[in-house]
Amino acid sequence: MSDAKGSLVLVPNALDLGTGTEVDLRLVLPQAVIERAARLGCWVVENAKSARALLKRIDRLVPLAQPLQSLRIDELPRPRKGGTQPEKPDLAPLLAPALAGEDIGLLSEAGLPGVADPGAALVQVAHELGLPVEPMSGPCSLVLALAASGLNGQSFAFNGYLPQDPAARALRIRELDAVSRRIGQTQIAIETPYRNEVLFRTLIEHLQPGTRLSVACALTLPQQRCRTLAVSAWRAQPAGTSALGERLPAVFLWLAA
């Protein structure tokens, strides 16, 4: 029996989940990724339903090595709420097939696993267990938005979701604007699509007029748009004007003058 361990393969996903638009996977994923995914028999995913939907799309391009219903698809456990410290789930059992020599695919809801994604915790456990980690090329909305923004790509920080409480959110925006001004660092944030407009309006209200704000929406989709303006210029836009599509994923970036 071989003692070789399987790899944890970080399989990128398309960015069209929940947008109502299904892009041709060949336009956003390298052929090598599609072929590698088609061969994998074990998966750890954020959501089993959407993972199966992606695998069906892959199967139309490269037949799966085994029937979809026979694949092992495990979901990452969601952190339990309550208490002062959320309970940290034991993720090691999810990697048992790799310890036995079988490769496992890790799949995010969108983009690259482990980047703005709970799969990072599983990657950490894989390293602790001495398993090879194999990242594969694919779309990452944060990197695509940064590249399209024209802002500082040498120094940037991803801040995830900003507070939902209006006062706390406004305070956090002003704090990040000050950090950006002090060290010349691009700040990046995201929001749930149906709250994008609220975040956008809060940003243009509380960022300094000279700060450049970039909005990248629906990246890799036919309706994608990326626009960078000074906050003063955003404020001067006609009422009702927005860089956002209806319930489409967006990335917000800003760099203080």
Residue 2 lies in a domain: no
Q: Which domain holds residue 161?
A: 141-255
Tell me which of 101, 120, 135 is where a domain ends: 135
pLDDT in tens, 201-211: 999 999 999 99
Over pLDDT 90: what percentage of the chain?
Answer: 87
Q: Is residue 67 domain-shared with residue 122, that is, in the same domain? A: yes
Q: What is the pLDDT of residue 82?
A: 46
Task: Indicate whether 120 and 178 sit together in one domain.
Answer: no
pLDDT the model gives residue 83: 46
Shared domain for 102 and 158, answered yes or no, is: no
- CATH number of residue 205's parent domain: 3.30.950.10
Task: Give the total number of structural domains in the chain.
Answer: 2
Q: Of 114, 135, 156, which closes a domain?
A: 135
Q: Do 129 and 145 belong to one domain?
A: no
pTM for this entry: 0.90
Domain finish residue from 91, 118, 135:
135
- Do 77 and 147 have their domain in common? no
Residues 140-164 pLDDT 10s:
999 999 999 999 999 999 999 999 9
Q: For the chain, which ranges sit under pLDDT 50?
A: 1, 81-83
SS (H, E, C) the chain: CCCCCCCEEEECECCCCCCCCCCCHHHCCCHHHHHHHHHCCEEEECCHHHHHHHHHHHHHHCCCCCCHHHCEEEECCCCCCCCCCCCCCCCHHHHHHHHCCCCEEEECCCECCCCCCCCHHHHHHHHHCCCCEEECCCCCHHHHHHHHHCCCCCCEEEEEECCCCHHHHHHHHHHHHHHHHHHCCEEEEECCHHHHHHHHHHHHHHCCCCCEEEEEECCCCCCCEEEEEEHHHHHCCCCCCCCCCCCCCEEEEEECC
pLDDT at 171: 98
pLDDT (0 to 100) of residue 1: 43
